[in-house]
Amino acid sequence: MEYEFTLKFKIPSDPVDELIEKLAEAGCDDALIGIGTPGKIALEFIRESTSAKQAIISAIRDVKSAIPDAMLIEVGSELVW
């Protein structure tokens, strides 16, 4: 099943192009990436998984593997509420 959700992170000030490339390599190629606010990044995922919880956990893990210093600041989804 597919789950749609958004994750927002505070990120280090590394060049954004490099971060986007790292995210794709880490498995976040199923996300639309928003970089409008300096020092923050939003990823809108459509991820296949066995459960919403597992989809969100795997996405967070993928982001953290690409950007270890990223700090999760918000999870948005109708499923979470």
Distance, CA of 5 to CA of 23 (rounded, Å): 16
Distance, CA of 33 to CA of 14 (rounded, Å): 15
Tokens at residue 15, please?
């060049």
CATH superfamily of 2-76: EIF_2_alpha (3.30.70.1130)
User: Which residues share a beta bridge with 31?
Assistant: 45
Give pTM, 2 decimals. Answer: 0.89
Question: Which residue ranges make up each domain of the chain?
Answer: 2-76
Q: Render pLDDT for 18-70 as a digit per residue (tens, 0 to 9).
A: 888 999 999 999 999 998 888 999 999 999 999 999 999 999 999 999 999 99
Distance, CA of 8 to CA of 22 (rounded, Å): 16
Residue 54 CA, chain-centre distance (Å), reads: 14
Residues 44/32, Cβ–Cβ less than 8 Å: yes
